[in-house]
């Protein structure tokens, strides 16, 4: 049986976390800055980021 994560853990793991679409590295950033393209990936300098996907459970 799968346990549900506590709300604090969900916030730590998924809140404000983005994944680079080019190299799949994770970045924690402000959503408004990501939307305006002001945040770049540290490794490949791409601005194409997506939110980290939450599990279906």
pLDDT along the chain (57 residues), means of 10: 86 96 97 97 97 86
pLDDT attached to residue 35: 96
pLDDT attached to residue 47: 97
pLDDT attached to residue 15: 95
Interatomic CA distance for residues 41 and 28, integer angstroms: 10
Assess if residue 37 is contained within a domain.
Answer: yes
Assess if residue 56 is contained within a domain.
Answer: no
User: For residue 37, what are the domain limits?
Assistant: 7-51
Assess if residue 34 is contained within a domain.
Answer: yes
Number of domains in the chain: 1
pLDDT attached to residue 4: 87
**For residues 41 and 25, is the Cβ–Cβ distance under 8 A?**
yes
pLDDT attached to residue 57: 66
pLDDT attached to residue 27: 97
Assess if residue 30 is contained within a domain.
Answer: yes
Assess if residue 2 is contained within a domain.
Answer: no
């Amino acid at each position: 049986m799968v346990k549900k994560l506590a709300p604090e853990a969900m916030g730590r793991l998924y809140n404000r976390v983005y994944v680079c679409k080019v190299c799949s590295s994770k970045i924690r950033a402000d959503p408004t800055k990501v939307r305006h393209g002001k945040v770049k990936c540290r490794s490949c300098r791409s601005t194409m980021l997506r939110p980290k996907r939450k599990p279906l459970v």
